[in-house]
Amino acid sequence: MIELVLFVIILKVALFLKKMFLLFVVEPRVVINYLQTLKSSEELLREQLEKAKKKEAAFIVTFAKREQEIAELKSAVRDLKAQLKPPSMQARRLLLDPAIHEEFTRLKNLVEEKDKKVKELQDNIAAVNFTPQSKMGKMLMAKCRTLQEENEEIGNQAAEGETCLAEITEYRT
């Protein structure tokens, strides 16, 4: 952008010199008007050049800030990745240490026991809160019916056995 402005200035100066050469035959008033026009356009171009330099400086500052932010974010990502991956040698040493291994095993068993206890308590809660329309309630009602039928059969068999025993004792006597 700066090069373009300089090129325009140089081009205008060259044109001016060419016209000056031709103006030796032209009136001085025309030359003065041309010089004034050239001077005003030069001032305008200088103002544009200053504005362009200010914009360029602002863009450079913004670009530098963005590059710094990117570098900081990349560094943060590297740090987070490093935190996610514990050193493998340290992990191996921890797993090979008998005391730590025993503690892990104890805690694992404790968690399994607690999971079983939680499951049992959840089942108890479900059994207490059943209704005849719920799935658990229907299953319990069906189980009760089968147990009741089995009890009746056993009772009938016991009654037949007692009748049979009574007949045998009567027959022997």
Final residue before a domain boundary, out of 84, 118, 144: 84
CB 127, CB 138: distance < 8 Å: no
Statement to judge: residues 15 and 78 lie in one domain = yes
Residues 123-142 have a mean pLDDT of 74
Residue with tokens 């797993």: 95
Q: Categorize the per-residue pLDDT at 24 as very low, low, confident or very high, splitting at 50, 70 and 90.
A: low
Task: At 67, list the tokens.
Answer: 């590059």
Residue 112 inside a domain? The answer is no
Statement to judge: residues 80 and 9 lie in one domain = yes
Closest C-alpha among 54, 52, 51, 18 to residue 34:
18
Tens of pLDDT, residue by residue over 62-79, are 999 999 999 999 999 998
pTM for the complete prediction? Answer: 0.34
pLDDT of residue 89: 62
| Rounded CA separation 107/98 (Å) | 14
Residue 165 inside a domain? The answer is yes
Residue 48 inside a domain? The answer is yes
Statement to judge: residues 14 and 80 lie in one domain = yes
Does 12 or 1 have the greater pLDDT score? 12
Residue 122 inside a domain? The answer is no
| Rounded CA separation 146/139 (Å) | 11
Q: Tally the domains of the chain.
A: 2
pLDDT of residue 23: 54
Final residue before a domain boundary, out of 62, 84, 106: 84
CB 16, CB 23: distance < 8 Å: no
Residue 166 inside a domain? The answer is yes
Task: At 16, list the tokens.
Answer: 């001016």
| 28-84 vs 2-22: helix crossing angle, rounded to 10 | 170
Residue 101 inside a domain? The answer is no
Q: What is the mean pLDDT of the chain?
A: 81
Statement to judge: residues 79 and 137 lie in one domain = no
Residue 97 inside a domain? The answer is no
Residue 109 inside a domain? The answer is no
Tens of pLDDT, residue by residue over 41-54, are 889 989 999 999 99
What is the span of the domain harbouring residue 6? 2-84
